[in-house]
Chain A
Amino acid sequence: MFKSKRRTPMVGLSLMMESDFFRAAQPLFESGEVEVLEWSFDMSWGIAAKPPWVEELLEFYSQRDRLIGHGVSYSLLSAQQDERQTHWLKLLQQECLDYRYRHISEHFGWMAAGDFYQSAPLPMPLTPETLQLGRNNLKRFSDTANVPVGLENLAFAFGWQDVLQQGEFIDRLLEPVDGFLVLDLHNLYCQLHNFQQSAEQLLKRYPLHRVRELHVSGGSWSVTSKGQQTKKIRRDTHDDQVPEAVFELLAIALHSCPNVEAVIFERIGHTLHTEAEIVGFRQDFLRMKQVVKDSASCLMS
Chain B
Amino acid sequence: MSDELATFQSTLLETLSSQDDPDTIKATLEQQQLSPSLADYVQTFESEMVEIAAELVKKWGKRLSNLE
**Interface of A toward B, CB cutoff 8 Å:** 78-81, 110-111, 113-120, 122, 124-125, 127, 129-130, 133, 156-162, 194, 222, 224, 226, 231, 233, 235
Closest chain A CB from B27 CB (angstroms): 15
The interface residues of chain B lying within 8 Å CB-to-CB of A226 are 22, 47-48
The interface residues of chain B lying within 8 Å CB-to-CB of A81 are 2, 6
* A80–B6 touching, CB < 8 Å: yes
* B5–A117 touching, CB < 8 Å: no
- Contacting residue for A233 out of B17, B40, B52, B65, CB 8 A: B52
Closest chain B CB from A280 CB (angstroms): 25
Q: Secondary structure at chain B's binding surface: helix, strand, loop or mixed?
A: helix
Question: Which residue of chain B lies nearest to A161 when distances are taken between CB atoms in the complex?
Answer: B44
With an 8 Å Cβ cutoff, the count of chain B residues facing the other chain is 38
The interface residues of chain A lying within 8 Å CB-to-CB of B40 are 125
Q: A118-B60, A120-B60 are in contact. List 17 more A-B contacts (CB 8 A).
A: A78-B9, A79-B2, A80-B9, A80-B10, A81-B2, A81-B6, A111-B60, A115-B14, A115-B65, A116-B13, A119-B17, A125-B41, A158-B50, A159-B44, A159-B49, A161-B44, A224-B48
Instruction: Give the residues from 18 to 68 in chain B that come closer than 8 angstroms, CB to CB, to chain A.
Output: 22, 37-38, 40-41, 44-53, 56-57, 59-65, 67
**Interface of B toward A, CB cutoff 8 Å:** 1-3, 5-6, 8-14, 17, 22, 37-38, 40-41, 44-53, 56-57, 59-65, 67
* A79–B45 touching, CB < 8 Å: no
- Contacts between chains A and B (CB distance < 8 A), count: 110
Measured between alpha carbons, how far is A157 from B12 in the docked complex, in Å?
A: 14
Measured between alpha carbons, how far is A119 from B10 in the docked complex, in Å?
A: 11
Listed by A's residue number, 6 A-B pairs whose Cβ atoms lie within 8 Å are A113-B9, A114-B6, A116-B57, A116-B62, A158-B46, A222-B52
Closest chain B CB from A127 CB (angstroms): 5
A133 in contact with B61 given A114-B9, A157-B49, A224-B52 (CB within 8 Å): no
* B61–A159 touching, CB < 8 Å: no
Closest chain A CB from B22 CB (angstroms): 8
